[in-house]
Structure 1
Amino acid sequence: MNMGKMFITLGIIFVVIGIIWSLIGKLPGDITIKRDNITFHFPIMTSIVVSVVLTLIFFIIGKFR
């Protein structure tokens, strides 16, 4: 697989993830606390998912170097 096809595949994957993410809004495991006029949102699960995805991307790119 050459780099062009890999980037096209990654782009399609990101578009699909973005569409799903916008429909869901937030992942289970994200913490939202609402009190009076203050809202605190801490996206724990979202952070984990982004970390795993970036790790896989950098691993794949490193394999082709």
Structure 2
Amino acid sequence: MKKLALAAAFAAAASTAFAGSMEEPMMEAPVVVEETAASSSAAGVWVPLLLIAIVAAVVAAD
């Protein structure tokens, strides 16, 4: 019975020893998602379309 009480006392002491410390908790930085404007992705389409139109106009003029 004494061994059981001693084991319970050691178990209780060990569980509180690893519970934490007095240090400030480490907080992770918030994730910032930056949205881009929709016009920037569409701007890459205009140059090839303009080149195709110029080539089509040159071919039609011949």
Q: Provide TM-score, normalisation by structure 1.
A: 0.32
Higher relative CO (CA 8 A, sep ≥ 6), structure 1 or 2?
Answer: 1
Q: Which structure dedicates a bigger proportion of its chain to strand?
A: 1
Larger Rg: 2
